[in-house]
């Protein structure tokens, strides 16, 4: 098992196995969750689809187990970070049957509570019209909030809307800036995207004498 996934499952199991600690996740802020004795950011297992999970060593069976633990932690501890994570699993079908309608019931309150990953996923749902009316403007609002909250994927998606004029006017400079923010946050595509193809060429350089 990938060590990050193992650490997440161990930490989440502490919440579900020890009722006396069930309230502790509420003391953590943002997307941090309580495990191993302190508030930490959960490993990025929520980003994994089955294809990438196989490459990283996290099997579909392990993703199913992770989904069960997130669901149990959400229900028992009423913890927004865990509910947000389980909602993302449902939205993308990671370890569970894809069910966007159910995902919305977890993601919307989590986003309102300040879980930026949930807001980012809601942006994807609205941008693609997944069980909701397609609404690029609303998607941009959600991406903007999540990007400002430190979610690299949201910054990349926000740049994409700038580049393609989805819910806004085409703005190559803003697209490039948001791709850079995504890159700085660790989003690989934000780093590999050819910005020269996104950002219009500037004036020719002044001749040096």
Question: pLDDT digits over 25-57, tens only?
Answer: 445 554 455 555 555 545 443 343 334 444 444
Listed range (3-12, 63-72, 89-98) with the worst mean pLDDT: 3-12
Q: What is the pLDDT at residue 77?
A: 77
Q: How far apart are CA 50 and CA 95, in angstroms?
A: 8
Is residue 34 within 8 A of residue 24, CB to CB? The reply is yes
Map out the domains of the chain with their CATH numbers. Answer: 1-134 (no CATH), 136-198 (1.25.40.10)
Average pLDDT over residues 67-80: 86
| 66 — pLDDT class (breaks 50, 70, 90) | confident
How far apart CA 63 and CA 74 sit, in angstroms, is 16
Residue 24 has pLDDT above 60, yes or no: no
Residue 106 backbone phi and psi in degrees, to 5: -95, -40
Place of tokens 């990349």: 156
**Confidence tier at 65 by pLDDT (50, 70, 90):** confident
What value does the mean pLDDT take over residues 8-12? 47
Q: What is the pTM of this model?
A: 0.70
């Amino acid at each position: 098992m990938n060590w990050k996934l193992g650490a997440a499952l161990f930490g989440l199991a502490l919440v579900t196995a020890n009722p006396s600690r069930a309230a502790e996740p509420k003391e953590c802020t943002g997307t941090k969750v309580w495990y191993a004795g302190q508030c930490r950011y959960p490993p990025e297992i929520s980003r994994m689809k089955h294809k990438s999970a196989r490459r990283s060593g996290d099997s579909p069976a392990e993703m199913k187990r992770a989904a069960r633990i997130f669901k149990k932690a959400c229900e028992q501890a009423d913890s927004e970070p865990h509910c947000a994570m389980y909602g993302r699993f449902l939205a993308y079908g990671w370890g569970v049957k894809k069910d966007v309608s159910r995902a919305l019931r977890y993601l919307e309150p989590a986003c309102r509570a300040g879980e930026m990953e949930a807001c980012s996923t809601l942006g994807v749902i609205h941008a693609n019209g997944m069980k909701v009316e397609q609404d690029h403007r609303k998607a941009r609002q959600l991406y903007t909030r999540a990007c400002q909250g430190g979610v690299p994927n949201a910054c990349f998606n926000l740049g994409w809307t700038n580049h393609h004029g989805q819910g806004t006017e085409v703005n190559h400079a803003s697209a490039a800036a948001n791709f850079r923010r995504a890159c700085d946050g660790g989003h690989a595509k934000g780093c590999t995207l050819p910005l020269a193809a996104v950002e219009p060429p500037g004036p020719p350089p002044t001749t040096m004498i």
